Amino acid sequence: MVDAALALVDSVVAKYDDELVELRRDLHRHPEVSWQEQRTSERVVEHLQRHGWRISRMPRSGVVADIGESGPTVALRADLDALPVVDLTTDPWASSVPGVAHACGHDVHTSALVGASHALAELHAQGLLRGRVRLLFQPAEEVMPGGARHLINHGAIEGVDRIFALHCDPSVDVGAVGLRSGPITSAADRIDVRLEGSGGHTSRPHLTGDLTFALAKITSELPAVLSRRMDPRAGVSVVWGMLRAGSAANVIPDHGIASGTVRILDAEAWASCEVVVREAVLDIVRPYGVTAHVDYLQGVPPVVNEPTSIAMVAAVADELLGLHHRTEVEQSLGGEDFGWFLEQVPGAMFRLGTRRPGGPTLDLHQGDFEVDEAAIGYGARMLAGVAVKALARG
């Protein structure tokens, strides 16, 4: 029965391949940033309504949909939001919204899950779905602590037994998937260090708090302190994205800020990192006569793939994509709020190959990011297939 269901998944998705590409192009042309994904949500609803899904619109944005009446429940998740990045591509479907682009592939994720919904609805109609499937079209993955908690707080995973998701990977060729058992992403937090001092003339730094020098010490010394205070096996990484202080070369400013991210491979170390960061910042600035205020936002936990779930993904990849179309991938320092779901329910995230064979590796979160659109159909097949496999397991 599982073999028949997977064969039907393949044929149904093939029927919708062109439509899914057009959907992805429409979403790419009209990107919406976190918590503003109303148009994107409505496009999703238009497709789901055609196939009998029971639809719930989430507050602010996002969609949850169910099919099936009883039995075990498997959830599939896709994120909806775009990034505040200028689209540098030249395709006819390039972003029409200034300064906003789908530079992380969420348009692909959404279109793939819509494609999976068509296949799963057909399986349900033919009596081949051995339980219930819930689709989570999630807003706001790109902001901390992420829209996953928003859906959890609104009951989106109540009664769910297992959950799956995918993410575009431009380092893997289209037609293949990247898998890893255990942690596949890192924890990711945000840190803002604000300094205040009396300010003064650069000719007399000894008569004031040299705030600029103290800010520079924080940017270099905090990573060094963490490398000695935290277990080096935890892979703690502090990277600064913004430094701001002063407006003249001969004036020591009275305020400044350093903002960045803290990324941690290990969940246990993640739980203790904030305390160490706060202590270290105060110790670093103490000799310089300035005051430090630390805003530390614990963003997202690591995505930790449960072994049984990722084994299901591997089996489906072998059956739907063919042998030798899956690869082992390394744990990434990227953050993903899918980790919040996996703290509640067992499941797995896999990486969807989007690179054109022989083509360049175009990095995520960059304005020139492009995908081979054949990845949409592969993603749809994989999502529907893992739902079938998980329900068959019971």
Q: In sequence order, what are the residues at sequence separation of 6 or more whose Cβ sits closer than 8 angstroms to the Cβ of residue 139?
A: 34, 35, 37, 41, 58, 60, 61, 62, 79, 80, 81, 147, 150
Single-letter amino acid code for the residue at 119? A
Burial grade of 330 (CB within 10 A; 0-12, 13-18, 19 or more): exposed
SS3 letters for 46-60? HHHHCCCCEEEECCC
Please report the sign of the dihedral spanned by the C-alpha atoms of residue 224, residue 228, residue 232, residue 235: negative
Does 124 appear as a known binding residue?
A: no
Does 51 appear as a known binding residue?
A: no
Q: How far is it, in rounded angstroms, from Cα 129 to Cα 52? A: 14
Strand-pairing partners, residue 191, are 260, 296
The owner of tokens 């029965």 is 1
Q: Token pair for residue 278?
A: 């706060």
Does 142 appear as a known binding residue?
A: yes
User: Do the beta carbons of residue 124 and residue 280 sit within 8 Å?
Assistant: no
Does 365 appear as a known binding residue?
A: yes
Q: How far is it, in rounded angstroms, from Cα 23 to Cα 314? A: 28
Q: How far is it, in rounded angstroms, from Cα 212 to Cα 289? A: 12
Does 273 appear as a known binding residue?
A: no
Q: Token pair for residue 215?
A: 């800010």
Q: φ and ψ at 322, to 5 degrees?
A: 105, 155
Q: In sequence order, what are the residues at sequence separation of 6 or more whose Cβ sits closer than 8 angstroms to the Cβ of residue 108?
A: 24, 102, 168, 352, 354, 371, 373, 375, 376, 379
User: Do the beta carbons of residue 67 and residue 129 sit within 8 Å?
Assistant: yes
Strand-pairing partners, residue 195, are 256, 292
Provide the phi-psi class of 146: left if phi over 0, else alpha when psi is between -120 and 50, else beta. Answer: left
Strand-pairing partners, residue 54, are 66
Query: Please, where are the H alpha helices in 50-200?
Result: 106-125, 147-153
- Residues making up the binding site for Mn(2+): 104, 106, 142, 167, 365
- Residues making up the binding site: 104, 106, 142, 167, 365
